[in-house]
Amino acid sequence: MRNLLAFFFVLIVGALVALAGSWGGATIGGFPVFALLVALAFVIQWLAFLPAYLLQTEKFYDLTGSLTYLTVTAAALAFSPNLDARSFLLAALVIVWALRLGIFLFRRIRKAGKDDRFD
């Protein structure tokens, strides 16, 4: 019951963040781009959670985080109507950071065999 309540709490907070971040922002097909990006991040995380839970492994946790950043950043670029040099610079920095950190942490976990942060 406690996990179910936490699940609904996370959904409500995510929806409120999506709503607040979408205020006055760009839309695509009548839907706010920011809200679509929040939904995309949730979907990626849930899809990654299912096999991780079933296999009881956290080995792909950091790669999934990086994949989420990369996908949401690429989608933000694709769906944004007004792009400038600053948008591309920011996206490039996020992509470099996500790749560097995700790959580093994945290699570290593969070498150690597990992630001590989850013990």
Name the 3-class secondary structure at 31. Answer: strand
Range of the structural domain that residue 6 is part of: 2-118
H/E stretch holding 18 reads: helix 2-22
Give pLDDT tens digits for 43-89. 999 999 888 888 887 777 778 899 999 999 999 999 988 899 999 99
Tokens of 85: 């040099």
What's the number of domains the chain is made of? 1
Give pLDDT tens digits for 8-48. 999 999 999 998 988 888 888 889 999 999 999 999 999 99
pLDDT higher than 90, residue 105: no
This prediction has a pTM of 0.82
| Cα–Cα distance for residue pair 115/94, rounded to 1 Å | 24
Amino acid at 24: G
Q: Provide the 8-state DSSP code for 118.
A: G
Contact indicator for 88, 78 with CB cutoff of 8 Å:
no
